[in-house]
């Protein structure tokens, strides 16, 4: 199937790792010109025509700078994938500091809000575009271990629907993809969520991940997700093939949420 993404300019945040890296690679393979934004160097997945922008998305000044760079280099923006995010394993509400709450919201909500604010006027100028926000099953399955992250991912849903309501009539669609547990460096990097959960449960990283997808989040597919599972849905949702899809949420979670 041709996703009709040839020469489309797509901004992907969090493109140095995991779901964002897989998304950048797939979109590039589909012919898009990808701008990968990350606090870490984006050194794979962008092809010869792509652009890497190294920036901290929790800095309120970053989104306008990123969008100015995209315009300067590529002249337009057809889609924005707000993917950057992350979490720390928590042990109790009582142990989460005010600074930690604010940092979690800055990364998982305000970065996407500010990037959307910077990108929408440019999309309006060129007649439309597609906004895609990467949420989390945690927003609907809050627990002790993820409570600030769950709380910060929830308003992304309201943001996306509000953006869709205001701007779909002007050609800008807005949708959310909801990954469930997905095997990325978020789990596997040393000191990452896998190690943090292992420390909380007094076990090793592999056992902690197994417990996550069998007890905490039993997955109907019987396998943890892979970055490409999410990237393939993201690519469809930013493509013109999904032109009738807006204000929607797409679960890519192995059935963790199994919503009716």
> Taking contact as CB under 6 A, which single stretch among the options 80-88, 118-126, 160-168, 243-251 is the one that binds ligand NAD?
80-88
Query: With contacts defined by CB under 6 A, how many residues of the chain interact with ligand NAD?
Result: 26
Nearer CB in complex with ligand NAD: 66/172: 66
Of 17, 116, 153, 187, the active-site residue reads 153
Query: Using alpha carbons only, what angle is made at residue 29 by residues 24 and 35, rounded to the nearest 5 degrees?
Result: 35
Of residues 194-223, which lie at the interface with ligand NAD (CB under 6 A)?
Answer: none
Interface with ligand NAD includes 185 (CB under 6 A)?
yes
Interface with ligand NAD includes 85 (CB under 6 A)?
yes
Alpha-carbon gap, residue 175 to 181, rounded angstroms: 20
Nearer CB in complex with ligand NAD: 5/234: 234
Residues 6+ apart with CB under 8 A from 159: 109, 112, 113, 116, 133
Whether 119 contacts 93, CB under 8 Å: no
Of residues 32-51, which lie at the interface with ligand NAD (CB under 6 A)?
Answer: 38-40
Interface with ligand NAD includes 155 (CB under 6 A)?
no
Joined together, the tokens standing for residue 219 give: 């997955």
What's the closest the beta carbon of residue 179 comes to ligand NAD, in angstroms? 4
Query: Using alpha carbons only, what angle is made at residue 164 by residues 163 and 166, rounded to the nearest 5 degrees?
Result: 65
Of residues 130-149, which lie at the interface with ligand NAD (CB under 6 A)?
Answer: 134, 136-137
Whether 230 contacts 177, CB under 8 Å: yes
Does the active-site annotation cover 8? no
What's the closest the beta carbon of residue 124 comes to ligand NAD, in angstroms? 25
Residues 6+ apart with CB under 8 A from 22: 45, 227, 228, 230, 231
> Taking contact as CB under 6 A, which single stretch among the options 1-9, 10-18, 121-129, 164-172 is the one that binds ligand NAD?
10-18
Nearer CB in complex with ligand NAD: 18/129: 18
Helix axis angle, 18-29 relative to 227-238, nearest 10°? 50
Does the active-site annotation cover 187? no
Residue environment code for 149-182, b if the CB has 16+ CB neighbours within 10 A, otherwise e: bbbbbbbbbebbbebbeebeeeebbbbbbbbbbb
What's the closest the beta carbon of residue 98 comes to ligand NAD, in angstroms? 18
What's the closest the beta carbon of residue 106 comes to ligand NAD, in angstroms? 8
Does the active-site annotation cover 126? no
- For binding to ligand NAD (CB under 6 A), which residues are involved? 14, 16-20, 38-40, 56-58, 83-86, 107, 134, 136-137, 179, 181-182, 184-186
């Amino acid at each position: 199937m041709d996703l009709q993404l040839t020469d489309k300019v797509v901004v992907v945040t969090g493109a140095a790792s995991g779901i964002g890296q897989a998304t950048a690679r797939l979109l590039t393979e589909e012919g898009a010109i990808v701008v990968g934004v990350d606090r870490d160097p984006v050194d794979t997945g962008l092809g010869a025509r792509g652009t890497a922008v190294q920036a901290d998305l929790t800095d309120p000044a970053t989104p306008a700078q990123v969008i100015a760079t995209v315009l300067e280099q590529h002249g337009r923006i057809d889609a924005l994938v707000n993917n950057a995010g992350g979490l720390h394993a928590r042990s109790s509400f009582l142990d989460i500091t005010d600074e930690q709450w604010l940092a979690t919201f800055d990364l998982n909500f305000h970065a996407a809000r500010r990037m959307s604010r910077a990108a929408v006027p440019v999309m309006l100028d060129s007649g439309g575009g597609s906004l895609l926000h990467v949420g989390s099953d945690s927003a609907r399955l809050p627990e002790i271990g993820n409570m600030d992250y769950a709380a910060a991912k929830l308003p992304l849903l309201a943001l996306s629907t509000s953006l869709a309501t205001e701007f779909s009539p002007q050609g800008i669609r807005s949708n959310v993809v909801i990954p469930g547990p997905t095997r990325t460096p978020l789990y596997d990097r040393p000191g990452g969520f896998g190690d943090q959960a292992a420390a909380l449960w007094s076990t090793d990283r592999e056992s902690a991940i197994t417990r996550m997808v069998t007890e905490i989040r039993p997955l109907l597919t019987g396998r943890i997700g892979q970055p490409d599972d999410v990237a393939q849905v993201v690519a469809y949702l930013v493509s013109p093939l999904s032109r009738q899809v807006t204000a929607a949420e797409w679960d890519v979670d192995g059935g963790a949420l199994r919503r009716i």
